[in-house]
């Protein structure tokens, strides 16, 4: 821990009472990315309500601006996207920042363009695997290249005419699937993608809402060349952001939290299913459908949790929430086992290493496995240490929630990485403790 700058340390003080209140979480990042990109594909003005203010989604807007798309802010988090005359060859390299969604989905869009472009990102993003999208897009005829044997950004794309293929994806990945769907929207013929398990289906839902020629049959998606309809899009609250409050409410005694207007897409509610299986007291209120997406209010109350086994089939529905689930598991009676989550090693950080290393500092009984981890609970978390974030917003926020339960205060290094998805995060927790 040498050379840590004091101003970069976030102090977390253990709570002395339950968390209580009604809150809203930031707009869903995954849906916001797609709303901006799909809105730009209509070549008509599209209004997006409650667009994410996170850094990743700002990166998507900057990439679109670099392609000639007009982005107008009408009010806080309400924007209009207008691709007047279609995408234009960018004058500069397109910077996706820290956003894997931006670089991978835009690769699908740009592969079918009629110009040259280069996509890159920050140091973290340039370390993440890109062959998983480059290989299937190349099979569709894309002229797409990357460094290190096509595995890392920057990505160079020479736009060309694409053709549909039938592709059996080796893993369930919304980013792989979405990149191919977006390429398929401009490709000749039919593009068919099959996954081993159903991953997040935000792309399919929104594109069907926008009248794309797209059908879904369980784990198989079929898409044809399509013109999208310019419709207003409403973004729900991000359940991945809500997950931190769901876990905190479940494990901190005397807590009751109501989270308003949360996205409840069934491919994203693995966190709710897992917490319920662990014995959490969760109820859904005011369930409704907006722009093809499920939405509602979620109430969480403190309860005694028990350890469970989390199998591979549910992992695509809960991949981003596994670090905070590890925190919940430290407070559950018995053993919690996560399997089939090897893809955690290819996120903003190696999240298996990160969460195991940091929770061990707090006194948790957690063991790393090749494709997940094993947590033995219930454990008193000690505190009195400094946690690292690994430049990863979800590791930072998971550490914060763990710190609320510690016997002594902790500090978190480079906590500012939470701004990638949730700059309001600590402020909301502070209100719940008042």
Question: pLDDT (tens digit, 9 = 90+) per residue, 78-97?
Answer: 999 999 999 999 999 999 99
- Give the helix ranges, DSSP H, for 46-165: 55-66, 100-111, 131-139, 147-150
Question: Using one digit for the tens of pLDDT, what is the confidence trace for 137-186?
Answer: 999 999 999 987 778 999 999 999 999 999 999 988 999 999 999 999 99
Locate 40 and state its tokens.
Answer: 């730009």
The pLDDT of residue 133: 95
CA 262 and chain centroid, separation:
14
The pLDDT of residue 273 is above 90: yes
User: Is 350 among the catalytic positions?
Assistant: no
Kindly provide the residue ranges of all beta strands, DSSP E only, lying in 129-175, ordered along the sequence. Answer: 143-146, 152-158, 166-168
The pLDDT of residue 2: 35
Of residues 198 and 46, more confidence is placed in 46
Distances (CA, A) of 158 to 36, 77, 115, 145, 200: 23, 34, 6, 9, 29
Cβ–Cβ under 8 Å, residues 406 and 380: no
pLDDT category at 6 given cuts 50, 70, 90 is: very low
**Pairwise CA distance, residues 44 & 80, whole Å:** 10
Cβ–Cβ under 8 Å, residues 348 and 300: no
Question: Using one digit for the tens of pLDDT, what is the confidence trace for 110-122?
Answer: 999 999 999 999 9
Could you give the strand order of the β-sheet that contains 214-217, starting from the edge strand earlier in sequence?
Answer: 166-168, 190-194, 220-224, 214-217
The pLDDT of residue 222 is above 60: yes
The catalytic position among 56, 320, 343, 392 is 320
């Amino acid at each position: 821990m040498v050379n840590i700058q004091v101003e970069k340390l976030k102090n977390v003080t253990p709570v002395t009472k339950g968390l209580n209140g009604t809150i809203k979480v930031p707009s869903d990042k995954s849906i916001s990315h797609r709303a901006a990109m799909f809105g730009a594909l209509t070549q008509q003005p599209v209004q997006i309500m409650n667009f994410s203010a996170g850094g990743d989604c700002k990166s998507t807007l900057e990439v679109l601006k670099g392609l000639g798309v007009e982005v107008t802010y009408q009010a806080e988090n309400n924007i209009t996207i207008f691709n007047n005359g279609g995408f234009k060859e960018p004058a500069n390299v397109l910077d996706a920042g820290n956003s894997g969604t931006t670089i991978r989905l835009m690769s699908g869009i740009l592969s079918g363009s009629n110009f040259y472009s280069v996509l890159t990102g920050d140091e973290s993003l340039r370390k993440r695997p890109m062959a998983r999208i480059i290989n299937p897009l190349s099979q569709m005829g894309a002229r797409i290249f990357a460094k290190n044997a096509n595995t890392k950004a920057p990505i160079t794309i020479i736009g060309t005419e694409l053709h549909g293929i039938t592709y059996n994806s080796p893993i369930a990945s919304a980013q792989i699937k979405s990149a191919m769907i977006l390429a398929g929207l401009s490709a000749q013929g039919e593009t068919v993608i099959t996954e081993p398990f159903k991953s997040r289906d935000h792309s399919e839902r929104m594109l069907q809402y926008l009248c794309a020629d797209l059908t879904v049959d369980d784990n198989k998606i079929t898409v044809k060349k399509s013109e999208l309809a310019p419709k207003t899009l409403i973004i729900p609250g991000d359940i991945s952001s809500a997950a931190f409050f769901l876990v905190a409410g479940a494990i901190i005694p005397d807590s009751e939290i109501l989270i308003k207007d949360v996205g409840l897409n069934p491919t994203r509610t693995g966190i709710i299913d897992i917490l319920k299986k662990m014995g959490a007291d969760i109820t859904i209120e005011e369930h409704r459908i907006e722009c093809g997406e499920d939405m509602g209010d979620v109430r969480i109350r403190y309860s005694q949790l028990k350890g469970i086994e989390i199998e591979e089939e549910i992992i695509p529905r809960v991949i981003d929430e596994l670090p905070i689930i590890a925190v919940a598991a430290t407070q559950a009676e018995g053993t919690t086992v996560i399997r089939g989550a090897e893809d955690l090693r290819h996120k903003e950080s190696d999240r298996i290493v990160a969460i195991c290393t940091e929770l061990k500092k707090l006194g948790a009984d957690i063991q790393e496995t090749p494709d997940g981890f094993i947590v033995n609970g219930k454990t008193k978390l000690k505190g009195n240490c400094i946690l690292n974030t690994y430049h990863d917003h979800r590791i930072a926020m998971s550490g914060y929630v763990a710190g609320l339960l510690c016997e002594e205060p902790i500090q978190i290094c480079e906590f500012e990485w939470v701004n990638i998805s949730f700059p309001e995060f600590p402020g909301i927790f502070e209100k719940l403790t008042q």
